[in-house]
């Protein structure tokens, strides 16, 4: 038996409309930039480990953010991936974004998580549905981001599932997504 309230039904319908606009624009983006996706995570964070596990469950290997961040990021960018998604602390997110900006990438989404929920978002035009999906996923916003990064067109099913409570990280955790400009 599926339990639904008026709020969840209306919210699901609104998410469906948002998802359609984002999914419909993915074809052109994919045609211009390719299909390679990279998932990065901070292994010291529970959210980072969950992100890596969720990405691998959807068929995309994740890389731990380790060592010299500048060399790490530049080496990562040599293959010009179409999408780089990650879960980390603020310092790593900003360092990787800064280096990616030099390689003509831009941040299209920044998700902010505190204590097991997505508490805020900053998404560029055309990517705001990802922010709404992450907020609707509540405690599983990290898994929703990993699912989107792994399978952008099929990922919005996640928010319709019942949330499981997970151990939250202390402090601010950021989820982020970078893509090439243009």
Q: Residue 170's pLDDT is what?
A: 75
Confidence of residue 4 (pLDDT cuts 50, 70, 90): very low
Q: Which residue do the tokens 């955790």 mark?
A: 173
Within a domain: 109: yes
- Residue from 159, 2, 176 nearest 87 by CA: 176
Within a domain: 1: no
pLDDT in tens, 46-74: 999 999 999 999 999 999 999 999 999 99
pLDDT in tens, 121-178: 888 877 777 888 888 888 889 998 998 888 876 654 443 343 334 466 778 888 888 8
Q: What mean pLDDT do residues 15-26 have?
A: 43
Number of compact structural domains in the chain: 1
Q: Which residue do the tokens 């890596």 mark?
A: 52
Domain that holds residue 148: 6-180
Q: Which helix (H) or strand (E) holds 86?
A: strand 83-88
Give CA angle at 42 (25, 95), nearest 5°. Answer: 70
Q: Which residues contact 101 (CB under 8 A, 6 or more apart)?
A: none
Within a domain: 26: yes
Question: What is the model's pTM?
Answer: 0.71
């Amino acid at each position: 038996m599926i339990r639904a309230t008026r709020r969840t039904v209306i919210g699901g319908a609104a998410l469906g409309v948002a998802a359609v606009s984002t999914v419909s624009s993915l074809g052109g983006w994919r045609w211009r930039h390719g299909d390679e996706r990279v998932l990065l995570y901070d292994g010291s964070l529970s959210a980072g480990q969950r992100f890596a596990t969720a990405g691998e469950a959807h068929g995309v290997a994740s890389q731990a953010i380790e060592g010299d961040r500048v060399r790490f990021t530049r080496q990562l960018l040599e293959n010009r991936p179409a999408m780089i998604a990650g879960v980390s602390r603020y310092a790593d997110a900003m360092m990787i974004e800064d280096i990616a900006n030099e390689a003509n990438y831009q941040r299209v989404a920044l998700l902010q998580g505190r204590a097991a929920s997505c508490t805020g978002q900053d998404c560029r035009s055309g990517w705001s549905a990802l922010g709404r999906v992450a907020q609707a996923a509540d405690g599983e916003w990290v898994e929703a981001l990993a699912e989107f990064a792994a399978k952008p067109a099929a990922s919005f099913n996640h928010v319709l599932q019942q949330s499981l409570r997970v151990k939250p990280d202390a402090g601010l955790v950021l989820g982020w997504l970078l893509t090439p400009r243009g």
